[in-house]
Amino acid sequence: MIARRRRTNSGSDSKQNGISSQTSQTFVSEVLLDTDMSCRDRTNEFFSAAKLLQSRQGNGALAQKRNPALRQRSEFTQIAKKIGRDLANTFAKLEKLTMLAKKKSLFDDKPVEIQELTYIINQDIQGLNKQIAQLQQVARSHPNARHVQSHSNSVVVSLQSKLATMSNDFKQVLEVRTENLKHQKTRRDQFSESPSNTTYSNHSSVLFQDEMNHSQGATGGADVVINMDGLDKNRFQQQMQLVDQQDDYIQDRADTMKNIESTIVELGGIFTQLAHMVKEQEEIVHRIDSNTDDAVMNVEAAHSEILKYFQSVTSNRWLMIKIFAVLILFFIIFVVFMA
Amino acid sequence: MKLYCIAVLHKGETKVNPLASAHELSSFGYFQRSSVKEFMDFTCKIVAERTIVGSRASVKEQEYICHVYVRSDCLTGLVIADHEYPQRVAHTLINKVLEEFTGKVPKSQWPTANSSTIVYGGLADYLQKYQDPKQADSMTKIQSELDETKIILYDTIEKILEREEKLNDLVEKSEGLSMQSKAFYKTARKTNSCCVIL
């Protein structure tokens, strides 16, 4: 990828006097190919079309009109080129760091170099971030045609995605490095006595030394030998005190981070529980809904039944009169029959 | 929790050279302030002299704690705070101040320059900002916000449990309602169907 970019740089340098959009197109097409985006390289077709247009319309008038636009575009492309070059350099440094971090032997470690390289890469990534933001500003500040605008946007987006992949790789390398450090520490502790429990102030370490001496004395054996060991441990512990003071601060920060991480995990668990409960209650809500629908349906049906009854009762009155009239007639006939 | 003083010094081979400092003396009486300031500067010098290069330390002094960090290039940062101020935040502050100082003032000036010759005005701002560690230090801020969020979420879960009870109530009532309406419908249908003749 580095070789490809160098070729692009030299190519665009030589073509600087020509049509600037060509160079940016070449650059972008190379960049797009690098990031594995699914796009075809149609630069050759573009070149042939541009040559055709050029031969058709003549160069002079067009070149003058395009000069200020050329200058704006070339500023953009120069900044983009610089960013691409810095990106390539930082990628190379990151590869070096990866090689250094992957070494697993106990004594071949170069912590100073690794720290320096990490610091440099960190600074580089921050600087690149700022540069890309600046590039975006430049692209937005010049009011260009729509296709030029979309081209600048795609260049900026591709640079940003490259930076993002690089930061991800950097993070992974740092994780690998911490894993290796942990392994080294455990292995070192296996082979040498672990000088744990060293503290800040001198008082408690003196007490600790007394305790160590007493416990050593209790195990028996020649007193002289054990005292010498105790003295050695003393010196060792004092040296480790310095390292551990720094370590304590770092340990403190690590503990706080662990706390924060566990709190966040807890919060995540609470959220899932919440979602679970709400989902269960959804079923209850459905049941309520269907019950009320049933109730409404039944009430409507009963309402219509009663209406029907009411209608039959009201419309029945005439029938009722007629029936009564017939009954009274029958009564009269009966009475007449009897009497 | 209060911060009283931030100071940057250069720890040379033989002597310690104070480079910049900022003080927050509003809690002392007006007439005591100058003497307290002198005493603080003196303490800074002594502690910086006694501290080994490339180490951090926290020295307790009556009711104040002095956090000091001597970097490997002999630039020293000092913070005087009270007992409650968290140690980690103080050391984070020292780191930040030292980095900014290294960026602004070139290294050649450190052994010789004085607080009057160096132009570095950021200390007072830092002192003000870090008076409340919960706001200024990002890790404490995150921790406190997360704790608040956790409390809010516990409240939410309790409310959801109450909601569940109310929903159960509603289910029972709606079931009763639907049964009653069904009985109502049956009665209405019965009155309609039976006494048509009459």
Q: What one-character DSSP code corresponds to residue B52?
A: P
Question: Are residues A185 and A90 both part of a single domain?
Answer: yes
Q: What is the CATH number of the domain that holds A112?
A: 1.20.58
Bridge partners (DSSP) listed for residue B9? B18, B76
This model of the complex carries an ipTM of 0.72
Q: CA-based angle B142:B145:B148, to the nearest 5?
A: 150
Query: In this predicted model, what pLDDT tens digit does every residue of B125-159 receive, in sequence order?
Result: 888 888 887 777 888 888 889 999 999 999 999 99
Question: CA end-to-end span of chain B, whole Å?
Answer: 94
* Closest-CA residue to A244 (of B142, B55, B124): B55
Question: How many domains is chain A partitioned into structurally?
Answer: 3
* Residue among B160, B162, B147 at smallest CA distance from A267: B147
Note whether A257 and A207 are same-domain residues: yes
Based on the fold, state whether residues A87 and A102 are members of the same structural domain: yes
- Indicate the domain borders of chain B: 3-194
CB contact under 8 A, A253 and B147: no
Q: Which two tokens stand for residue B171?
A: 């289910």
> Alpha carbon of A279 to those of A108, B153, B170: distances in Å?
57, 17, 17
Is A67 within the bounds of a domain?
Answer: no
On the CB side of A287, CA atoms within 13 Å amount to 15
Confidence band of A105 (pLDDT split at 50, 70, 90): low
Is residue A285 within 8 angstroms of chain B, CB to CB?
A: yes
Q: Would you list the DSSP string of A213-277?
A: HHHHHHT-S-HHHHHHHHHHHHHHHHHHHHHHHHHHHHHHHHHHHHHHHHHHHHHHHHHHHHHHH
Q: Which of A198, A247, A294, A319 to mutate to test the interface with B (most CBs of B within 10 A)?
A: A294
pTM above 0.90, yes or no: no
The verdict on A158 and A268 lying in the same domain is no
Which of B56, B73, B93, B180 would you mutate first to test chain A, the one with the most A CBs within 10 A? B56
What is the CATH number assigned to the segment(s) B3-194?
A: 3.30.450.50
pLDDT in tens, A127-179: 888 888 888 888 888 777 788 888 888 988 998 999 899 999 988 988 888 88
- A96: which 2 tokens? 């070096």
From CA B61, how far away is CA A276, in angstroms rounded? 54
| Closest residue in chain A to residue B171, using alpha carbons only | A288
Q: Which of A245, A263, A287 lies closest to B171 in CB terms?
A: A287
Q: With respect to residue A68, please indicate whether it lies within any of the assigned structural domains.
A: no
Task: Give residues with Cβ within 8 angstroms of B77, minimum separation 6.
Answer: B6, B7, B8, B68, B69, B71, B94, B95, B97, B98, B101
A257 touches chain B (CB under 8 A): yes
Separation between Cα atoms, residue A128 and residue A88, nearest integer Å: 11
Give the residue among B57, B61, B142, B33 at the shortest CA–CA distance from A200: B57
Residues 6+ apart with CB under 8 A from A240: A195, A198
The pLDDT value given to residue A212: 54
* Three-state DSSP state, B86: coil
In-domain check, residue A312: no
Is residue A28 predicted with pLDDT exceeding 80?
no
- Residues in A closer than 8 angstroms to B184, CB to CB, are 298-299, 302
pLDDT tens digits for B151-197?
Answer: 999 999 999 999 999 999 999 999 999 999 999 999 888 887 776 65
Residue A157 shares a structural domain with residue A135:
yes
